Amino acid sequence: MCYQNITAVPEKNEFNTADHSYAIDRFLCVLENTEENDYGVYDIDVTLTRIEVRLTDNEDLVGVDLLPIAILFAGDYLCLDYRESDNHPTVCVWDHEESGDLDPVTYYCSENFDEFLSILYKGN
């Protein structure tokens, strides 16, 4: 089932990490047909296609080390970080300005997604 009218913008959308405050613009989604949906640009696969080579430092990796799950204000992404564990990803911010091809720059947020949700607060 595809929920085309859900915008995935959380009410509590701000958090702090690495001495910086971040705001979630919207969570990414998984759509059956991205081209026929107004929210197609927010599909996880579409996002991966655009920035995939910047999400890993291993050019031989099939897949990604960092899975973007939300767009943050100003172009960074909230990611599940699988670099330390395939089964228990941590949550981090991927910095789009500092990262280069095969050189991702990230900032740790939390040990897991549940913990991340507990640090969100409602911004102004």
More confident residue, 2 or 40: 40
For 60-88, what is the mean pLDDT?
91
Q: What pLDDT was estimated at residue 7?
A: 58
- Asked whether residue 9 is domain-assigned, the answer is no
The DSSP H or E segment spanning 82 is none
Residues spanned by the domain of 88:
14-119
Please tell me whether residue 20 adopts helix, strand or coil conformation: strand
In a domain, residue 4? The reply is: no
Give the total number of structural domains in the chain: 1
More confident residue, 3 or 72: 72
* Residue 31: per-residue pLDDT: 84
Distance CA 105, CA 86 (A): 19
In a domain, 3, yes or no: no
pLDDT recorded at residue 57: 83
> Residue with structure tokens 């579409």?
46
Residue 8 inside a domain? The answer is: no
Q: What amino acid is encoded at 120 in this protein? A: L
Write down the pTM of the prediction.
Answer: 0.87
Q: Would you say 107 and 95 are in contact if contact means Cβ atoms under 8 Å apart?
A: yes
Q: ∠44-76-14 over CA atoms, to 5°?
A: 100
User: Does the residue 2 lie in any domain?
Assistant: no
